[in-house]
Amino acid sequence: MAFLVTGAAGFIGAAVCEQLLARGDQLVGVDNLNAYYDPALKQARLARLQAQAASCPSLWRFHQLDIADGTAIGELFDAVRPSRVLHLAAQAGVRHSLLNPGAYVQSNLVGMGHILEGCRHHEVEHLVYASSSSVYGGNLNLPFIEHQAVDHPVSLYAATKKANELMAHSYSHLYGLPATGLRFFTVYGPWGRPDMAPMLFAKAILTGQPIRVFNHGRMRRDFTYIDDIAEGVIRCLDKPATANPSFDCAAPDPSSSWAAHRIFNIGNSRPEELLHFISLLEQALDRKAIQQLEPIQPGDVEATAADTSALDAWVGFRPNTPLEIGVARFAAWFREFTQH
């Protein structure tokens, strides 16, 4: 039976699909190919997946659908009857949620509801879905650990991701749907999103344009390389969530439950100064950046750092690609990609 992957043309979705296809899994990809950023990049990712599956076309099918379209998603579940679902489709971007909140409600809340209903009515073995480190909000206790409460989001995007975790838990409790939520920390690497700092910075540096450095450079991020993210996702997909037998309702642990629902951080566990990231990118591109220092933006947080001990205990893996190696790989890809 096929795996259903939503957001398959996205940065993380395409990377995970590439690894799943490499091991011979049958995939059905879904994406609406919206114009939040250049759809040509999404089409290029899909072309790579199509080429990878060319020798065995039955392994890969793609449907251009909007997860907010309940009828279309219901028909897709009826046709595919997936054994497992990897739900990565979402309206991304913290800052954009201040400008277009309706897109986040439709994709991240309504769309998530449709995916949950599809899983419920087709007895899906395991749902893995994308959450985000942004759910930690105003928390200043680093590193972030899943046992901490996440009740103070500082953006609508973060609030929708917290809502996704609550929605998934309710379906695990009510309908026995094993579900795992993954909190991603600042993902970067080849084929990344053009609205994120690595792509914005690289393009500006190579064209001699200034880069906007928020909070005057006093930002720390847990930069996590895309290949590590993909491996962590697949390991979790392969191990369905189970109930926590030691869960105590009198002292509830937010990361697990009496239901088959789990939450895990996926991060590099080594927060880095934004200025250090810029320095490494300058070295890799052999150009100096023109830095335009600006105040911190609404919805942003000063620092993120992941405690990944729970992920390691669950699937025996934690991201470990050093920033120096990941930035060099990204820069090499960016030069090649922009020359074509």
Catalytic residues: 157
Angle at 131 between CA 128 and CA 135, to 5 degrees: 155
Residues 10-23 as b/e (b if ≥16 CB within 10 A, e otherwise) read: bbbbbbbbbebbee
DSSP letter for each residue of 59-96: GEEEEE--TT-HHHHHHHHHHH--SEEEE------TTH
Measure CA of the first residue to CA of the last residue in the chain; give whole Å.
37
Query: Which amino acid, 334?
Result: F
How far is it, in rounded angstroms, from Cα 132 to Cα 149? 14
How far is it, in rounded angstroms, from Cα 162 to Cα 151? 8
Two structure tokens written together for 50: 């199509």
Burial of 313 (0-12, 13-18, 19+ CB in 10 A): exposed
How many residues make up the chain in this entry? 340
Query: Are the C-beta atoms of residues 275 and 238 closer than 8 Å to each other?
Result: no
Query: Are the C-beta atoms of residues 43 and 13 closer than 8 Å to each other?
Result: no
Cα 204 to its chain centre, rounded Å, is: 25
How far is it, in rounded angstroms, from Cα 199 to Cα 204? 9
Q: Which of 221, 222, 224 is nearest to 296 (CA)?
A: 221
Q: Which helix (H) or strand (E) holds 285?
A: helix 274-285
What percent helix, strand, coil does the chain show, rounded to 5? 45, 15, 40
How far is it, in rounded angstroms, from Cα 149 to Cα 255? 9
